Amino acid sequence: MASFSSEDQAMLQAMLRQLFQSVKEKITGAPSLECAEEILLHLEETDENFHNYEFVKYLRQHIGNTLGSMIEEEMEKCTSDQNQGEECGYDTVVQQVTKRTQESKEYKEMMHYLKNIMIAVVESMINKFEEDETRNQERQKKIQKEKSHSYCTDNCSDSDSSFNQSYKFCQGKLQLILDQLDPGQPKEVRYEALQTLCSAPPSDVLNCENWTTLCEKLAVSLSDPDPVFSDRILKFCAQTFSLSPLHMTKEVYTSLAKYLESYFLSRENHIPTLSAGVDITNPNMTRLLKKVRLLNEYQKEAPSFWIRHPEKYMEEIVESTLSLLTVKHDQSHVVSQKILDPIYFFALVDTKAVWFKKWMHAHYSRTTVLRLLEKKYKSLITTAIQQCVQYFELCKTRKAEETLGHSKHCRKKQKTFYYLGQELQYIYFIHSLCLLGRLLVYKQGRKLFPIKLKNKKGLVSLVDLIVLFTQLIYYSPSCPKMTSATHAENYSPASMVTEVLWILCDQKECAVECLYNNIVIETLLQPIHNLMKGTEASPNCSETALIHIAGILARIASVEEGLILLLYGANTNSSQESSLCSTGAHIIAQFSKKLLDEDISIFSGSQMLPMVKGAFISVCRQIYSTCEGLQVLITYNLHESIAKAWKKTSLLSERIPTPVEGSDSVSSVSQESQNIMAWEDNLLDDLLHFAATPKGLLLLQRTGAINECMTFMFNRYAKKLQVSRHKNFGYGVLVTQVTSTAAGGVALKKSGFINELITELWSNLEYGRDDVRVTHPRTTPVDPIDQSCQKSFLALVNLLSYPAIYELIRNQDLPNKTEYSLREVPTCVIDIIDRLIILNSEAKIRSLFNYEQSHIFGLRLLSVICCDLDTLLLLEAQYQVSEMLLNAQEENILETSESNRDFIIDGLSVERNHVLVRINLVGGPLERILPPRILEKSDNPYPWPMFSSYPLPNCYLSDITRNAGIKQ
């Protein structure tokens, strides 16, 4: 039956079920065959696909092979007899041939063979059916028992048993596999048993009662020297991890973890020492790393689903892992002969400790991990700190460079995947660094400190650990010893430490507790002190290390608490001027000024010097972008040094020769020009941020670079570039600050910023996107200012302060054209006033697609900018705004009779009435009463009187103002 298709098997089973009663007493006679013949004849008559079944084809082929030659002989005999004169029809010939065939010896042998096949098939089906029924009954009993004794049942889609689909695996089969897996069995028998186990559904295996015994057998078999056998067991474990729910995979995981723990503790296994290193091409090491990697891959996947299961499952996984990672050998000899612990192998497969990061992410698992670390497995943290200390001491004694050179020499010589002892130490250091960095992020993790180290006096506090990390930045070499040049930056010690400290800076509570203190700041600034004294910053200190330090300082300065620390120190007050000269802000400013003025000769000629300058100016920018910070740094005249450096760089960029196509110098010239242009943009950005404060804006104007800064800001605005998350504000704040001065307004106009802003406003207000208007028409606005125009409205309000608007519209008349094209787009503030505010002609009204909506937008803008009395007087003197509004109200009167004139109440008349009251009555809420812009739900929706001439109705005057007028 194995060779038949599913349809053939179904047909055969249907036929044999009808024969069940006769074959149950063993098929020996003709009645069963007659019954089978009747069934086949019935199927042939009723089933159109009868002759296409493989089973029917098999019978036809078997009959042809067995009786074909005999039938042909009988046909020839009948034909020869017919030629001799014997008359017989076709039916007679068929009957004769059939009769002779059935009486032949070959036919009887064929029928006997077919009877034996049918007997075997039917007996097999009966046995399978009975076993299936027995298993189903046992399974139902087990399910009922689990429901009665446990409050938690797994309902995962991958936990359903496949007993109904598998005829190969059962409870008795598992016992047979257990016997066959015994180490005393022949190799072929064990292979076959393990192959059967891997082909069975994992849920069937784990639901069996003998799973515990099987687990022990598998753990013993993991040490089998045959790699094929070991790989098949790992394949079974991997299938279990991917296809089974947590309560099943937990058993496999803990079993594998306990096996590895016993493997490392056993003296029979040859675990390499630190001095010998690890050759991953060695078969034993390959098998060991496969087991560790399988465990690690499950560690990274388990947190995604263990929250849906009881906490005890997660606790067992966590505890078995921590128990394995804290395994230590009794080391009575020197460090170089140290036997490698499991943590080294975990670091090899997961260098950045991703498993720990995922375990600490959720509160559900983090509490369990931290509780176990505190009570039982604190040695994991202790050894991680010890590893960082040892690596720092190695770097401090300048042995790192020798290690790096030796490593490269060995790799070139051997050309194998071989890790030296120093490389293993470095990998373990990176793993420890990432683990500790993630631990410090959380409050409960920081509570584990201080920690006592072996062979070290005193306790290691949080500050001590951060100081150690900081010193690693400028003591460690810039290149790692374990990776190729393409991955050097990702795994270099300085980059890894900086990444950890950046994460700590982004967590406010963590930063206050770990970073915001004088000791850490002094450690960060120590190489700068040395450089300003004319000495080397520290052994192996490089431009890269200084860039990393500047990045950390910039993140500290971007937060208020960190900024105060840099300005005044941790134990001083802002009023204590005597201590200012020694604070971090002063040191950073002095160093940045020396870099800009090129007073430091240590890094002269270095290609990375502009990057160092830019990094430290960025720190200063975080400081002088605030009023308090600028007040502290103003004595250093950084704006002059930055402007001087920008002018020098600008001249260099103009002198760069144009590259000639085909020349060898094209790439070098292009790279040089890109570097110079990037440095020039960086300096302009630094100058631009002086405009964040009023006094800083004055300093920017004095440099004479305000026009270039505005152009630079407009270019970035036009490109829609994202503002860095560590900047305190975007360009909107700078625009508001710049337009508070006349020079700033003129610079913005020259840069094209105002033109772009007004064009964008008109597009949102009148046109919208041309590519979607037909297929997706814009909805009718229901608010006075549509949501799509709110951003442009706020931008114009911030832009049109009196100094700016005076420079933009003074002594300029309105166009007042006789005709406006529908596609004529405003480009300046005069156009906005002409097209949206002062609509005093039919040509202006007809030029708008959305007349009411656009005019209300203009009236709202007028209402806001006229809050500045200077701006109101300017508009009134040049354009007679009040007269225009009164004329518009006059045109909105409906004359019902000669003596009765009623105003038409609509959105525009209500808005104009509000603006007229606002611009003609000066004062606050106690001096004037502003009419609302909305209608009331009553018989009289707008009870406020409208007017088209002066004086204003007395109802808009408060009692205080009215009484004062009467007295006058």
* Predicted confidence (pLDDT) per residue in 62-87, tens digit: 787 787 788 778 777 777 766 555 54
Band the pLDDT of 672: cuts 50, 70, 90.
confident
Tokens of 664: 């060898």
How does pLDDT run across 389-401, given as a tens digit for each residue?
Answer: 999 988 887 644 5
**Sign of the CA dihedral with 200 first, then 205, 207, and 209 last:** positive
Least confident of 117-121, 698-702, 727-731, 826-830: 727-731
Examine the pLDDT at 36 and tell me if it is beyond 70.
no
E strand or H helix at 40: helix 30-46
Examine the pLDDT at 675 and tell me if it is beyond 70.
yes
What are φ and ψ of residue 896, in 5° steps?
-85, -25
Examine the pLDDT at 157 and tell me if it is beyond 50.
no
pLDDT mean over 312-317: 93
Least confident of 224-228, 602-606, 812-816, 938-942: 602-606
Q: What is the pLDDT of residue 606?
A: 75
pLDDT mean over 752-765: 90
pLDDT mean over 582-596: 91
- Closest CA relative to residue 622, chosen from 656, 585, 587, 658: 585
Least confident of 40-49, 218-227, 688-697: 40-49
Band the pLDDT of 148: cuts 50, 70, 90.
very low
Q: What is the pLDDT of residue 748?
A: 92
Examine the pLDDT at 241 and tell me if it is beyond 80.
yes
Task: Report the first-to-last Cα separation within the chain, whole angstroms.
Answer: 117
Q: What is the pLDDT of residue 703?
A: 94
Band the pLDDT of 591: cuts 50, 70, 90.
very high
Tokens of 347: 């670091």
Examine the pLDDT at 16 and tell me if it is beyond 70.
no
pLDDT mean over 650-666: 65
Q: What is the pLDDT of residue 221?
A: 78
Examine the pLDDT at 487 and tell me if it is beyond 60.
no
Of 320-334, 762-776, 922-936, which one has max mean pLDDT? 922-936
Lookup result for tokens 């042995």: 399
* 3-state class percentages of the chain: helix first, strand second, coil last, to nearest 5: 70, 0, 30
Q: What is the pLDDT of residue 227?
A: 79
Specify the higher pLDDT residue, 94 or 675: 675
pLDDT mean over 783-799: 84
Specify the higher pLDDT residue, 641 or 7: 641
Specify the higher pLDDT residue, 675 or 504: 504
Length of the chain (residues)? 968
Q: What is the pLDDT of residue 573?
A: 47
Q: Judge whether 559 and 511 are in contact, CB under 8 Å.
A: yes
pLDDT mean over 447-451: 93
Examine the pLDDT at 4 and tell me if it is beyond 50.
no
Residues of the chain with pLDDT > 90, as a percent, come to 41
pLDDT mean over 571-578: 45
- Which segments within 687-804 are labelled E, that is strand? none
Q: Judge whether 849 and 895 are in contact, CB under 8 Å.
A: no
What are φ and ψ of residue 273, in 5° steps?
-95, 170
Least confident of 98-107, 124-133, 586-595, 744-753: 124-133
How does pLDDT run across 356-365, given as a tens digit for each residue?
Answer: 999 999 999 9
- Closest CA relative to residue 356, chosen from 399, 398, 300: 300
Band the pLDDT of 2: cuts 50, 70, 90.
very low
Band the pLDDT of 916: cuts 50, 70, 90.
very high
pLDDT mean over 224-240: 82
Of 406-410, 631-635, 726-730, 779-783, which one has max mean pLDDT? 631-635
Band the pLDDT of 523: cuts 50, 70, 90.
very high
Q: What is the pLDDT of residue 372?
A: 96
How many whole angstroms separate alpha carbon 788 and alpha carbon 778?
Answer: 11
Mean pLDDT, rounded, of the chain: 80
Band the pLDDT of 484: cuts 50, 70, 90.
very low
948-968: burial string, b at 16+ Cβ within 10 Å, e else:
beeeeeeebbbeebeeeeeee
Supply the DSSP symbol for 765.
I
Q: How far from chain centre, in Å, is Cα 108?
A: 76
Examine the pLDDT at 513 and tell me if it is beyond 70.
yes
How does pLDDT run across 408-446, given as a tens digit for each residue?
Answer: 444 444 445 789 988 999 999 999 999 999 999 999 999
Examine the pLDDT at 40 and tell me if it is beyond 70.
no
Residues 6+ apart with CB under 8 A from 706: 700, 738, 743, 744, 747
Specify the higher pLDDT residue, 778 or 266: 266
Specify the higher pLDDT residue, 723 or 12: 723
Q: Judge whether 52 and 32 are in contact, CB under 8 Å.
A: no
pLDDT mean over 282-293: 91
How many whole angstroms separate alpha carbon 872 and alpha carbon 950?
Answer: 18
Least confident of 35-39, 122-126, 231-235, 367-371: 35-39
Q: What is the pLDDT of residue 352?
A: 94
pLDDT mean over 612-632: 94
Three-state secondary structure readout of 907-935: HHHHHHHHHHHHHHCCCCCCCECCCCCCC
Q: What is the pLDDT of residue 574?
A: 44
pLDDT mean over 883-892: 92
